[in-house]
Structure 1
Amino acid sequence: MNPVETLEQACSDAWPPLKQHRLGEWRLRWAGGFTGRANSALAVGDPGMPIAEALRAVCDFAHSQGIPPAVQAVNGSRAEAEILAEGWRENVEHAAGYEVSVLVGVAMNGPFLAKNGRNGPFIASVRDTPTPTWWELSAGTTEPTPAQRHVLGTGANGYGVVEVDGVTAGAVRVAIVGPVAHISRLAVRPEFRRRGLAAELMFAASSWAKERGAGQEVLQVSVSNTPALALYRELGFTEHHRYRYWVPPMATCKDRKS
């Protein structure tokens, strides 16, 4: 695999679905509808069969799990070109954003820290287990579903929080996959924004990852999320590649049970 495909596989390992089926090097994933990444086929590498046959397998798997068929493919890749040639289209309806920027870097950025420092009394910590308030900020509920618990709770993870006046003001998740630290679910309550808490959470996540041997950090951010992209650029992250979600025309991907 090339470096882009290898990084995509690591990101997938950091975001494990409830159910996964291998199709050659492709991954067919299901997690009860929780996030596009965990409920789509990751089309990197060789599926071990002609693309049309592989896409039919994607449809069959999705229908068997009760989710709409979707494929995640790297922008400009051979797989994407073949998917387009089969009549699939960009999933512009995807609520979280159908095109995603994959960023790499290290949040313990010397120039940023020299300019901004740590955030005074508001120092984030990273814990081994998520708290109810972490779940509230990261998943919108203090009682996560089995799919949310599995996707966000499986693996070597750290759960960052920052407290302000006794309130959990922000949260982040960091997952270690070999030498890669996958950072996600960064959130700050609206009333606590513009105080540097997001940067403080990123610093804590980066420190935690570095202590565990991670030499590279990666984020996956919708290209429409301009505030987040601006923060990560200031922290020294740069774009590695992009991917998009693709969906089939109905006529080419019917539910075979119907």
Structure 2
Amino acid sequence: MHDVTGLEQRCADAWPAVVDVPLGRWRLRAAGGFTGRANSALTTGDPGLPVPAALDRVIDFARRNGIRPTAHVVVGAPVEAAVGRAGWRPDLEHPGGVESLVMTGEPAGFATPKRPDVVVADAPFPGWWELVAQPEPTAAQRHVLTGGVTGSGTTKPGASGPGAAGLDAVGFGAVVRDGEVLAAVRGAVVGDLLHVARLAVRPEARRRGLARLLMGGLAAWGAERGAKHCALQVAEHNAAAIALYASLGCVEHHRYRYWVPNHA
């Protein structure tokens, strides 16, 4: 399995920001405020200059792109103490929670046979958008979630799309019954890694095993495209999701927090 830096870099590739500028091995990312991962500086590796100076670059970048200065910091990494000494603090007000787990597993271990009600399409479609973002997604949401897939976003389940620039594949998964999307998820394959995100189930359809069913279909899709490992990020307070992923054989790989300047 990948080390922490390698895994974080692949997860960043799978979740493409609108603006992604290297600072040594760091990545300065912005996407109109849509998700913390796409609007923070990934601080794995050497930025090529002292950490305080690198964080000044993070602040300048954030101001230029109209987002809050934020650093994505792996818990326990050497850079964590340096970020704190530079006058930054964990973002206790972050909507997704202060700390997230990165969990990993093997898609082959929970892949399930194809079923007519489980779709992994090559392009997003209206019911999928409604569950994972909003019925009329913003330009930033389209960019991050499609990973470069073009088109109107009104493709019907099962239709083909042109693929994703910079990624081996992007899949838009859903459980569709009687023409209604009951559950949705996004999968992206980067090398041998399947990145899983935005798993959602309609409130009225919960506790029917749809999330597990959809994860099995997405795992099979990823395995068919060469994915031997999977990774996903989940907030530490989301006990139900953590339990689901653990039951599929996923385990905690590491954790990360978002940090912001003390004056922010």
TM-score, with normalisation over the residues of structure 2? 0.88
1:176 aligns to 2:170 (yes or no): no
Helix, strand or coil: the match of 2:16?
A: coil
Helix, strand or coil: the match of 2:136?
A: coil
Q: Is the 8 A contact 1:107 1:236 kept in 2?
A: no
Mapped partners of 1:171, 1:240: distance in 2: 24
1:34 aligns to 2:37 (yes or no): no
1:1-258 → structure 2 map (5 Å cutoff) = 3-109=3-109, 123-139=117-133, 141-154=134-147, 155=164, 156-250=169-263
Structure 1 unaligned residues grouped into runs of 5+: 254-258
Helix, strand or coil: the match of 2:17?
A: coil
- 1:23 offset after TM fit, Å? 0.4
Helix, strand or coil: the match of 1:224?
A: coil
Q: Is the 8 A contact 1:118 1:200 kept in 2?
A: no
Helix, strand or coil: the match of 2:5?
A: helix
Aligned AA (2:129): W
Aligned AA (1:134): W
Mapped partners of 2:71, 2:15: distance in 1: 16
Q: Is the 8 A contact 2:5 2:44 kept in 1?
A: yes
2:161 aligned residue? none
2:153 aligned residue? none
- 1:186 offset after TM fit, Å? 0.5
Q: 1:118 to 1:191 in 2, by over 3 A?
A: farther
- 1:81 offset after TM fit, Å? 1.3
Mapped partners of 2:109, 2:208: distance in 1: 18
Aligned AA (1:6): G
- 1:97 offset after TM fit, Å? 1.4
- 1:124 offset after TM fit, Å? 1.1
182-191 vs 163-172, which deviates more?
A: 163-172
Aligned AA (2:76): G
- 1:107 offset after TM fit, Å? 4.5
Mapped partners of 1:122, 1:84: distance in 2: 51
Helix, strand or coil: the match of 1:109?
A: helix
The size of the alignment, in residue pairs, is 243
Helix, strand or coil: the match of 1:33?
A: coil
Q: Is the 8 A contact 1:20 1:28 kept in 2?
A: yes
Mapped partners of 2:119, 2:138: distance in 1: 25
TM-score, with normalisation over the residues of structure 1? 0.90
Give the root-mean-square deviation of aligned CA atoms. 1.7
99-108 vs 220-229, which deviates more?
A: 99-108
Q: Provide, for residues 154-185 of structure 1, a one-character-per-residue CA deviation record: whole Å limited to 9, x for no partner.
A: 13200111112331100011001111110011
Helix, strand or coil: the match of 2:45?
A: coil
Percent identical = 51
Give 4+ residue runs of structure 1 displaced > 3 Å after superposition. 107-110
Mapped partners of 1:132, 1:41: distance in 2: 31
Q: Is the 8 A contact 2:28 2:41 kept in 1?
A: yes
- 1:96 offset after TM fit, Å? 1.1
2:155 aligned residue? none
- 1:12 offset after TM fit, Å? 0.3
Q: Is the 8 A contact 1:122 1:164 kept in 2?
A: no
- 1:108 offset after TM fit, Å? 4.4
1:256 aligned residue? none
- 1:123 offset after TM fit, Å? 3.7
